[in-house]
Structure 1
Amino acid sequence: MDEQITEFEHARRKAAERMGVTNRRLWPDNGEIQERLLEQQRLFGGSTYQDEQHSLLQQSLAAMQLFVSFTPRLVGPVLAGTATRAQGIELQVFTDNTEEIIWTLIDHRIPWSADQASFRYAGNQRQDHPIVRFLAGAVPVQIDVLPPKARHNPPLDPVSNRPQRGASPDQVAQLLTETQCCIRSSPGNQDR
């Protein structure tokens, strides 16, 4: 989701102004900003942060199971561990027929909206692909509908500028297990 990159750019400019650094080559890149954001959330977010990340992973896995026949992959801030409920969940699915995604939502009586978004690929190529959005409770979900060939040549991650491999449902289930262990062992969460 491009909102996070806009937030990174704002943070970068604000920090550079405060520090009086005008040489852009000395500014941190998106990956460095994401690492610091994650550190801050882990240090100061406490159990609230852990609970929110665990909940977002649970909702991601539930959404992935809905689209399991389209080889879903979790990407973006939830996978990075920096997401908030307001930022929501981003999934990639692989099909040449967006209508199949929409019919899945209709069959489950989930209100949706569709749009197009531009994705960057290796070689600085851009391609537009459909996206479908819906709400899972109060959490926005964005489904990037990519062609099947994009499984092997995925769009570039806007933070790292590397191919966005994402996580499969099995990998997200493993992350859920790991975050549940962290929640139980965290101070103040011994009763869970």
Structure 2
Amino acid sequence: MARRSTSRAGEVRARVAEEAARIMREQGVRDFLLAKRKAADRLGVVDRQALPANQEIADALAAQQRLFEGAGHEHNLRALRAEALRAMRLLERFSPRLVGPVLAGTATPHSDVSLHLFAEAPEQVAFLLLERGIRYQEGERRLRLGNGEHAFYPSFAFDLGGAAVEAVVFPERALRQPPVCPVSGGPMRRARRDEIERLLDE
């Protein structure tokens, strides 16, 4: 009986993960928790303890993209990475690092290019964008740190070519202290410009 119950719980988790991934892929939902809750409501799952981890949803999303989108996904991903590279060249003085779905390979057509920048003061980023005639919106991003605490960091959202870019600004000392990845729960993967150039050359 216990084994059957465990198997049933696993099936429910897998179904919710598949539905959450579909919601993210088709509707452009970016927040894992929101996609998870929408999927649970749609499937009538009331036990929140049976919900999948973010990594399970990310794995399901990647599998769906390979199955349903194929070459279209690869084309979209390459275009987003090319725009990311363009943004990184523009913001080179702030040691830009690419993060998130565009780096991980799970980006959808709704995904932003997500960058981490490092500056003594966020105003330096604003000044550069103004100098280049780029309109932006200021905001902030709440991130979990390695010590378990949360912190807010300023961000700048702007359009560059065919992509929307969100650049989160960290103090320079945080270059080697990545926040926690919302998918894996480990340190967030950050990629330098030369790494993106290699990805595009492959």
TM category, shorter: 0.7 to 0.9
Aligned to 1:36: 60
Q: Residues 64 and 14 of structure 1: is their aligned pair in 2 closer, same or farther, counting only changes over 3 Å?
A: same
Distance apart, 1:125 and its partner CA: 0.9
Cα distance in structure 1, aligned partners of 2:118 and 2:125: 10
Aligned to 2:186: 162
User: Does 2:102 match 1:102?
Assistant: no
Residues 129, 146 of structure 1: 8 Å contact kept: yes
Q: Residues 23-102 of structure 1 correspond to what in structure 2 (within 5 A)?
A: 23-102=47-126
Q: Residues 117 and 172 of structure 1: is their aligned pair in 2 closer, same or farther, counting only changes over 3 Å?
A: same
State the secondary structure of the residue aligned to 1:164. Answer: coil
CA deviation profile, 1:55-74 (whole Å, cap 9, x unmatched): 00000011011111211110
Question: Aligned AA for 1:165?
Answer: R
Return the TM-score normalized by structure 2: 0.78
Gaps of 5+ in 1: 179-192
How many corresponding residue pairs?
174
User: Does 2:195 match 1:171?
Assistant: yes
- Where in structure 1 do 4 or more consecutive aligned residues deviate above 6 Å? none
Cα distance in structure 1, aligned partners of 2:38 and 2:126: 41
Name the % identity: 37
CA deviation profile, 1:33-54 (whole Å, cap 9, x unmatched): 0011011111110221111000
Cα distance in structure 1, aligned partners of 2:117 and 2:33: 28
Residues 85, 139 of structure 1: 8 Å contact kept: no
Gaps of 5+ in 2: 1-28
Cα distance in structure 2, aligned partners of 1:24 and 1:161: 19
State the secondary structure of the residue aligned to 1:171. Answer: helix
Cα distance in structure 1, aligned partners of 2:113 and 2:66: 19
Return the TM-score normalized by structure 1: 0.82
